[in-house]
Structure 1
Amino acid sequence: MEKAFSSFLLIVLLLLLYVMASSPMTKTNITTDQLALLYLKSQIISDPSHFLDESVSPAISVCHSVGVTCGSRHQRVKSLNLSNIALIGRIPRKFGNLSFLVSLDLGINNFHGNLPQEMTRLRWLKFLDLSVNNFRGKVPSWFGFLHHLQVLNLVNNSFTGSIPYSFFNMSTLETLNLNFNSIDGKIPKVIGSLINLRELRLRANQLTGSIPFTIFNISMIEVLAFTGNSLSGSLPNGLFNGLPILKGLYLSSNKLHGHMPTSLSNCSQLQVLSLSENEFDGPIHSEIGRLSNLQILYLGTNHFTGIIPQEIGNLVNLVELAMEDNKITGSVPISIFNISSLQVLSAW
């Protein structure tokens, strides 16, 4: 009863402030942002640490609120960080009025419901982290209108539907993390047009179809993580020729088949190669010994044949090597035991 009465008073206060802010005699720059945060506060049903209770108030300058950084020129909210404070609630439509926002971090809370389309007004946004919440509904296509976005982190939510084709509009995007959702359909080919992309993380979803070869033309890419989907198809031999700085390739637990591409040896910066639990076959090629920076090599539960090449001993930085459940013949090459960093070896 007390909580309901407090919410009622806050709503009445918000209406009064909105009327004041709408008056032509009132300066609205700071008030607009203050109202947006007050509307957010009105949608919070649990704030166990009382962060918003104590700092978001009509009596306190918005630039003095917890987690807020204002720009020096306009004194508008430039950054908002409310991560990891156990908030439960929804994002209100008025949140889109924080039109100078550059960085927004609401990660590790319990926000739920759909994201309001009014967030398209956050046109200067570069960093958006909504990870580890309970947002639902289809991945919003309006993300494609955030033309300055560099980091989009939606990991561990309840998003559904397919990856929107509008994502190709985010030409500045460097990190796209959709891990641990319920996203289905195919990976759109247009993602290959995101030439500034460094990390593409789509793990633990319900994606199907083949991996678009356009992705392997992104020369800036460092991490490709597709583990735990239902992706199929093969990886052509020359596929990795244009990925000179690739550091992590995570393709485990899919339905990929065919031979391991020899062009992988061109990825001289590769540190993690995870191909386990697929349907790869053919030999483990000797060119793999050229990946001198490799630390993790997972090839288990496939249909690889032949012997383990002696050149695998050239992987001087290897920490974990797993090749179990294949059709490999012969013994473990002695050269493996020269790898002083090796801690885990599972060959059969």
Structure 2
Amino acid sequence: MALTGKIPREFGNLSFLVSLDLGSNNFPGNLPQEMARFALAYHRFLNLGNNSFTGSIPSSFSNMSTLETLSLNFNSIDGQIPKVIGSLIILRELKFRGNKLIGSIPLSLSNASRLETLDVSYNSLEGNIPEGIGNLYNLKLLSILYNQLTGSIPFTIFNIYMIEVIAFTGNSLSGSLPSGLCNGIIPQEIGNLVNLVLLAMERNQITGSVPNSIFNISSLQILSLSMNNLSGFLSWEIGNLTKMQHLQINENKLIGTYIF
């Protein structure tokens, strides 16, 4: 509605408020510290996305203990993701896409065990993807597109059997795609993700071969691994992916012959 100005503090008096959606307006300035007052006994949904907010995420947001959805997409929010966000243990959707966040993804997010959506794409996050992400067994969407993440892809992610979307495009992730045992220690395979629909890891520094176990994921519709350092042959078992709609493996070091 192109609303602007300050968000009135009196919203905090709405003690039975369940949902507050102020998205797609022109609210400027820092996210108000008193926002936590809005999250009273019944508050479940807070959307401040698509505005003009700046500044950092207030640590007071951790007081929203009943919150299930927190969306701050497409603002100009900077600073780090507060570690206390992990205390929102019934949170189901966390959306920080399209901001100016820096620092690392806090390990404390692994405490939000009910998370189904985690989207921190299009920021300036750096460091490793925390191993604890693998504890989010209810996660269906994990999107960390276009940040500055480095290091290997944690094998723990392949414990999340419910996951449908994994999007790591445009980082500096390295290491090999998991294809089975890792030094005999972590017996997890990407092929166990039987609900996976989209796997996007292009524009990274991933090495090794494309594991055959990927071709057992019959639900897979989008597989994008281009612009990495993958090598070896592409198995004929790729023909098992009968639901495939988009396959992108260009600009690697794959060898062999295409057979049509």
> If the length of structure 2 is used for normalisation, what is the TM-score?
0.89
Tell me the residue number matched to 1:155: 49
CA distance in 2, matches of 1:117, 1:138: 14
Greater RCO structure (CA 8 Å; 6+ sep): 2
1:157-185 deviation line (CA, Å, top 9, x unaligned)? 11111100101111000000000001000
Q: CA deviation at 1:331?
A: 2.7
Say if 2:95 is the partner of 1:193. Answer: no
1:305-344 deviation line (CA, Å, top 9, x unaligned)? 0100010111110111101100111232222221110010
Q: CA deviation at 1:219?
A: 1.0
Pick from 307, 329, 348 the counterpart of residue 209 of structure 2: 307
Alpha-carbon RMSD across the aligned residues, in angstroms, is 1.0
Tell me the residue number matched to 1:258: 151
Say if 2:186 is the partner of 1:284. Answer: no
CA distance in 2, matches of 1:241, 1:211: 13
Tell me the residue number matched to 1:113: 5
CA distance in 2, matches of 1:288, 1:189: 29
Number of residues of Structure 1 aligned to a counterpart in Structure 2: 239
Larger Rg belongs to:
1
Secondary structure, counterpart of 1:112 in structure 2: coil
- The 8 Å contact of residues 210 and 234 in structure 2, kept in 1 or not, is answered as yes
Q: CA deviation at 1:140?
A: 1.2
Secondary structure, counterpart of 1:168 in structure 2: helix
> If the length of structure 1 is used for normalisation, what is the TM-score?
0.67
CA distance in 2, matches of 1:225, 1:242: 16
Which of 154-163 and 120-129 deviates more? 120-129
Tell me the residue number matched to 2:128: 234
Tell me the residue number matched to 2:233: 331
CA distance in 2, matches of 1:226, 1:282: 22
Secondary structure, counterpart of 1:312 in structure 2: helix
Secondary structure, counterpart of 2:210 in structure 1: coil
1:254-280 deviation line (CA, Å, top 9, x unaligned)? 001111111111100000000010010
Aligned residue identity for 2:5: G
Q: CA deviation at 1:154?
A: 1.1
Secondary structure, counterpart of 2:156 in structure 1: helix
Listed as ranges, the gaps of 5+ residues in structure 1 are 1-108
Tell me the residue number matched to 2:77: 183
**Relative to total residues, which structure has the larger helix share, 1 or 2?**
1
CA distance in 1, matches of 2:144, 2:235: 26
- Percent of residue pairs identical: 44
1:61-91 deviation line (CA, Å, top 9, x unaligned)? xxxxxxxxxxxxxxxxxxxxxxxxxxxxxxx
